[in-house]
């Protein structure tokens, strides 16, 4: 009798586990779009759609040379669930990292620049070259981004213009 109960309990738990391993998650709608700055396509930026409610899954895509992106959800599938989203845009540095950094540091070049400046009688390190970020910082901040879009059932295509 104890063996039957144990076997029944094992089967019941197994059914619950197997039933939970199906294709879970909300239905996704395809989402594409284009990022432009001053009317020109913006390449190599991350576009992230985060649920306005703060609950649910977000989706992210990277722009190509034409400024276009396709969203991939956190589940690894293309699209985003139906809902309202805050949209952020983050620069990717030359090393492929988000955040608009400058990529790998060239220490030998820095040392050569310093040595050249010292030989010419200048004090200190040479001035850093100004780097224009592709995306103003407010677009990367969910609390400040001006972009808010609604993903609807079916195909969605959004323009994200940065002045």
Question: Which pLDDT tens digit goes with each residue over 94-153?
Answer: 445 555 444 444 566 556 666 665 555 555 555 555 456 789 999 999 999 999 999 999
CA distances from 90 to 69, 84, 111, 144 (A): 13, 19, 31, 13
Residue 20 has what pLDDT? 39
Q: How far apart are CA 84 and CA 20, in angstroms?
A: 27
Token pair 């034409």 is found at 66
User: Is the Cβ–Cβ distance between 150 and 83 less than 8 Å?
Assistant: yes
Question: Which pLDDT tens digit goes with each residue over 42-99?
Answer: 999 999 999 999 999 999 999 999 999 999 999 999 999 999 999 999 998 644 555 5
Buried b (16+ CB within 10 A) or exposed e, 114-139: eeeeeeeeeeeeeeeeeeeebbeeeb
The CB density around residue 60, as the number of other CB atoms within 10 Å, is: 18
**Domains in the chain with CATH codes:** 24-104+131-163 (2.60.40.10)
Residue 133 has what pLDDT? 75
Model pTM?
A: 0.66
Q: For the chain, give percent helix, strand, coil, nearest 5.
A: 20, 30, 45
């Amino acid at each position: 009798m104890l063996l039957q109960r144990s076997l029944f309990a094992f089967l019941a738990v197994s059914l619950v586990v197997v039933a939970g391993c199906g294709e879970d998650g909300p239905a996704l709608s395809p989402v594409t779009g284009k990022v432009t700055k001053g009317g020109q396509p913006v390449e190599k930026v991350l576009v992230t759609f985060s649920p306005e409610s703060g609950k649910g899954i977000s989706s992210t895509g990277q722009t190509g040379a034409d400024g276009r992106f396709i969203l991939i959800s956190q589940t690894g599938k293309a699209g985003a669930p139906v809902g309202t989203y805050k949209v952020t845009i983050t620069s990717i540095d030359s090393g492929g990292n988000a955040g608009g950094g400058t990529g790998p540091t060239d220490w030998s070049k820095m040392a050569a620049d310093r040595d050249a400046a010292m030989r010419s009688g200048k004090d200190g390190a040479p001035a850093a070259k100004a780097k224009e970020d592709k995306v103003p910082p407010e677009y990367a901040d969910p609390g400040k981004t001006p972009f808010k879009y609604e993903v609807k059932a079916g195909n969605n295509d959004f323009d994200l213009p940065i002045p």
